[in-house]
């Protein structure tokens, strides 16, 4: 080999090493720079509608602006609209922050009603922004460029879900608190579903200004699939293939093989990017490193001690059949203390069980309880236990606060598919596999029995409990679930 060839080869190796070192450095940097998020001087506020009075069920003052969230990369701004709503004639102390709004929502005034009216009457403000895919905010080209760069580099800074959406909520907080004549610092509760449940959960972890989240059909915990554990993914692939091979009644387009290509089941914190990343030349180790680099920023279960010290409030509605929150069996086993409500057979696009609760007002009760000291507290997660007696399984549920809920209801299902599988999503709790529980007044517990079918390997079950919260003469029916439980029957 010539000296020149050796030099070029050595230079190539050095360049490759430099690129790898740079990529590693990018993964070590925090995805969110909180100093950047808190800097009101860089908001570059464009006023769309200045403060003005809006009549309605209750009069408010409102302002709509467009702010600079930040630079995705040098020279490329990412911007978002923000609406601020305060009570007429006084400052708002804290606010309820939501991102589930479209561009049209910022072209007209907001008429305050429902729980938002209750909050405004109590002196709590409202802040709206836009946590949506970028094609919905007329930034489709930027969205595609960000997605392509993320797959190329696996740098979370280029991801709308790891950087863009959390940064949007954080910058909206900064914009609201910059309006010092209209807001004073107080509690900040966030709520929403899907991407607008996941994003507030991430913000609650990273932004100490926030104090509560009520999230539906969105990720909660760092299960092996989410952390890109290759063995878990291999198990999932094998299970799914066996399940699909056994389907004889599939009526959808593309045949049952289509179930193997679901865009969400197994995703780290949203849509699956594993296949594209592997096709782009990344390894499973790269995927695991990326998942680990974002996990502390997105999964509340990685931060329970810190969140407890901060005194935050949390409540989740994961759905029992949701393709975003596809791992409630793992979550129930490893994090039974997480407060949640499981509406049976619910999830994105799913039809709930015929016996599922229909009129719960958990979000309203949660927000009222969080913001107002004289409002009743939400129910605590009850403890659940079981004991096998022959062909029966005895279930006992006890309130940790020694309170009797108004009702107890149990659902069960035999041999449900593993977390993240097509079977997990497709096979529902049967219509007849539920029951009202019995109250044991002497022991202060709810009880039920499940008959165990022969030939089954495991049974899943959970219970729901209702309690009505009354505040200022208004009733809010609330529901809480016991931890989702899977009991292995073979070998018992």
Of 360, 359, 358, 365, the closest CA to residue 313 belongs to 365
pLDDT at 402: 80
Of 216, 265, 270, the closest CA to residue 426 belongs to 265
In a domain, 49, yes or no: yes
Which portions of the chain are predicted below pLDDT 70? 1-29, 491-492
In a domain, 19, yes or no: no
pTM above 0.85, yes or no: yes
pLDDT at 24: 47
| 458 within 8 A of 487, measured Cβ to Cβ | yes
E strand segments, 247-320: 313-317
The count of domains in the chain is: 1
pLDDT at 28: 57
In a domain, 420, yes or no: no
In a domain, 282, yes or no: no
3-state secondary structure at position 357: coil
Phi/psi of residue 290, each to 5°? -65, -45
In a domain, 6, yes or no: no
Which tokens is 136 given? 């919905």
Average pLDDT, the chain: 93
In a domain, 47, yes or no: yes
**Helices 165-177 and 195-206: crossing angle, nearest 10°?**
60
- Give 233-245 as a 3 state SS string: HHHHHHHHHHHHH
What CATH number is associated with residue 204?
3.40.50.1820
Of 128, 96, 293, the closest CA to residue 214 belongs to 96
Q: How far is CA 388 from the centre of its chain?
A: 34
The domain in which residue 85 lies consists of 31-216
Q: Report the greatest alpha carbon distance in the chain.
A: 91
pLDDT tens digits for 28-48?
Answer: 568 999 999 999 999 999 999
In a domain, 161, yes or no: yes
| 439 within 8 A of 411, measured Cβ to Cβ | no
pLDDT tens digits for 244-302?
Answer: 999 988 878 878 888 999 999 999 999 999 999 999 999 999 999 999 999 999 999 99
What single string gives the DSSP state of each residue in 309-333? HHT-EEEEE--SS-SSS--HHHHHH
CA distance 6 to 12: 10
pLDDT at 403: 83
pLDDT at 138: 85
pLDDT at 400: 86
276-313: b (≥16 Cβ within 10 Å) or e: ebeeeebeeebbebbbebbbebbbbbebeeebeeeebb
pLDDT at 71: 95
CA distance 193 to 199: 9
| 312 within 8 A of 211, measured Cβ to Cβ | yes
In a domain, 333, yes or no: no
């Amino acid at each position: 080999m010539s000296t020149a060839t050796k030099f070029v080869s050595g230079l190539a190796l050095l360049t490759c090493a430099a690129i790898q070192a740079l990529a590693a450095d990018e993964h070590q940097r925090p995805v969110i720079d909180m100093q950047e998020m808190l800097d009101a001087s860089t908001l570059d506020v464009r006023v769309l509608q200045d403060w003005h009075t809006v009549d309605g069920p209750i009069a408010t003052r409102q302002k709509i602006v467009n702010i600079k969230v930040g630079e995705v990369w040098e020279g490329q701004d990412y911007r978002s609209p923000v609406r601020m709503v305060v009570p007429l004639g006084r400052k708002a102390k804290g606010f309820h922050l939501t991102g589930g709004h479209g561009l049209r929502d910022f072209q007209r005034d907001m008429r305050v009603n429902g729980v938002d009216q209750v909050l405004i009457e109590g002196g709590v403000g409202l802040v709206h922004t836009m946590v949506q895919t970028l094609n919905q905010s007329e930034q489709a080209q930027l969205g595609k460029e960000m997605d392509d760069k993320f797959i190329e580099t696996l740098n979370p800074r280029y991801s709308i879900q790891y950087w863009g959406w959390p940064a949007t909520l954080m910058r909206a907080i900064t914009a609201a608190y910059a309006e010092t004549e209209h807001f004073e610092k107080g509690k900040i509760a966030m709520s929403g579903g899907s991407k607008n449940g996941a994003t507030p959960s991430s913000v609650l972890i990273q932004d100490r200004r926030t104090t509560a989240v009520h999230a539906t059909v969105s990720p909660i915990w760092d299960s092996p699939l989410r952390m890109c554990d290759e063995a878990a993914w291999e198990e999932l692939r094998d299970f799914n293939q066996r399940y699909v091979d056994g389907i004889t009644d599939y009526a959808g387009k593309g045949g049952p093989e289509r179930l193997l290509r679901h865009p969400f089941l197994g995703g780290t914190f949203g849509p699956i990017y594993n296949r594209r990343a592997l096709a782009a030349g990344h390894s499973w180790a790269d995927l695991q490193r990326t998942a680990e680099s974002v996990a502390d920023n997105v999964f509340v279960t990685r931060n329970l001690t810190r969140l407890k010290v901060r005194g935050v409030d949390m409540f989740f509605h994961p759905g029992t059949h949701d393709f975003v929150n596809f791992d409630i069996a793992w979550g129930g086993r490893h994090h039974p203390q997480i407060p949640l409500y499981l509406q049976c057979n619910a999830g994105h696009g799913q039809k709930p069980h015929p016996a599922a609760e229909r009129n719960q007002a958990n979000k309203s009760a949660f927000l009222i309880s969080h913001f107002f000291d004289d409002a009743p507290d939400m129910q605590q997660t009850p403890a659940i236990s079981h004991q096998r007696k022959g062909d029966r399984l005895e279930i006992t549920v006890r309130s940790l606060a020694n309170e009797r809920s108004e009702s107890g209801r149990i659902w069960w299902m035999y041999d449900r598919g593993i977390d993240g599988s097509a079977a997990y999503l497709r096979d529902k709790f049967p219509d007849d596999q539920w029951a009202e529980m019995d109250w044991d007044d002497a022991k202060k517990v709810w009880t039920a029995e499940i008959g165990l079918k022969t030939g089954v390997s495991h049974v899943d079950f959970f219970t729901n409990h209702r309690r009505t919260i009354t505040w200022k003469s208004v009733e809010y029916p609330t529901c809480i679930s016991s931890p989702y439980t899977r009991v292995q029957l073979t070998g018992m």
